[in-house]
Amino acid sequence: MEQNKTIVIRPSREADVDAMLAIYRRHIRRGVEDGVDDNDTPQPDDLRDRRKNLKSRRFPHVVAVDGEKVVGYAYVVLFRKRPAYRYTVKHSIYVHHDHIGQGVGSLLMRGLIDACAAAGFRQMIGYIDADNVASLALHERFGFARVGLLPAVAYRYGHWADTVMVQRSLGSGSTTPPPPPPLSTR
Ligand SMILES: CC(C)(COP(=O)(O)OP(=O)(O)OC[C@H]1O[C@@H](n2cnc3c(N)ncnc32)[C@H](O)[C@@H]1OP(=O)(O)O)[C@@H](O)C(=O)NCCC(=O)NCCS
């Protein structure tokens, strides 16, 4: 794999939003994500709000930059909202179409895993279209196990499509209980 040594992973900033949106829109248009229509694609303000929301709640939200250019981004949300699930996140990763296959996804994944482990999350879950070979390979490389197959959960381009659910543990995973909450929240 051609590895671009100049790429840096850093927390996203407000000024990155337009570039992130352009990356996302392009993947939607290409049908990687949805293949449905463009009406539902997030507007800049949606992404801006989502990013702020995640950051204020300390969920990692990172970009890959090559110099000034944003070439990919990745973030996590809670897997489920109920309190018992607060140590489990669900992630998304998008790489700019001109930079696919150059190791950017791997750098983002490494950065996201490390940031999530440092933030105290214990499990990381991803949903991948069953025909997304690049994403399946990326997740396998980073130790995600295939924990489920959700048959026919999407309909796109005239076909029912399956989703693969993948999971890996972070930090000490399930081998230790979570740390006690800070005194202020007890
Ligand atoms: C999936 C995605 C994030 C991968 O990012 P990337 O920068 O292309 O990935 P990398 O170059 O770091 O490659 C990671 C692994 O996937 C493999 N891979 C990449 N593209 C591949 C392809 N088209 N077919 C098969 N394997 C592929 C690489 O060989 C590498 O494995 P290796 O190190 O064992 O060789 C990127 O393709 C993308 O943004 N796709 C569109 C959005 C998307 O599907 N996001 C994931 C949603 S779950």
Determine the Cα–Cα distance for residues 152 and 154; give it in Å rounded to an integer.
6
In sequence order, the 6+-apart residues with CB closer than 8 A to the CB of 146 are: 164, 165, 166
Mean of the per-residue pLDDT values for the chain? Answer: 89
Strands 159-169, 145-156: pairing is: antiparallel
Pocket test for ligand 1, best of 25, 71, 75, 95 (most atoms within 8 A of CB): 95
Residue 99 falls inside a structural domain:
yes
Sign of CA dihedral 137, 142, 144, 150: negative
In the predicted model, is pLDDT for residue 99 greater than 90?
yes
Domain of 110, in residue numbers: 7-127
| Whole-number Cα distances in Å, 141 to 107, 134, 181 | 12, 11, 33
DSSP string, 102-123: TTHHHHHHHHHHHHHHHTT--E
Residue 16 falls inside a structural domain:
yes
Confidence grade of residue 3 (pLDDT, cut at 50, 70, 90): low
Q: From the CB of 137, is ligand 1 less than 6 Å away?
A: yes
Tell me if the pTM is above 0.75. Answer: yes
CB count in 10 Å sphere of residue 57: 9
Residue 146 falls inside a structural domain:
no
Confidence grade of residue 58 (pLDDT, cut at 50, 70, 90): confident
59 token code pair: 């969920």
Which pLDDT belongs to residue 182? 74
Closest atom of ligand 1 to CA, residue 23: 39
pLDDT in tens, 138-154: 999 999 999 999 999 99
Q: Supply the angle between the helices 17-29 and 44-56 in degrees, to the nearest 10.
A: 120
**Rounded to the nearest whole angstrom, what is the distance from the C-alpha of residue 136 to the centroid of ligand 1?**
8
In the predicted model, is pLDDT for residue 163 greater than 70?
yes
In the predicted model, is pLDDT for residue 158 greater than 50?
yes
Residue 33 falls inside a structural domain:
yes
Closest atom of ligand 1 to CA, residue 132: 44
Alpha helices in 65-160 (DSSP H): 104-118, 133-141
- Percentage of the chain beyond pLDDT 90 is 74
**Rounded to the nearest whole angstrom, what is the distance from the C-alpha of residue 93 to the centroid of ligand 1?**
10
Residue 45 falls inside a structural domain:
yes
* Domain count along the chain: 1
Looking at residue 51, which CATH number applies to its domain? 3.40.630.30
Residue 42 falls inside a structural domain:
yes
Residue 181 falls inside a structural domain:
no
Ligand 1: residue whose CA is nearest its atom 6: 105
Residue 87 falls inside a structural domain:
yes
In the predicted model, is pLDDT for residue 25 greater than 80?
yes
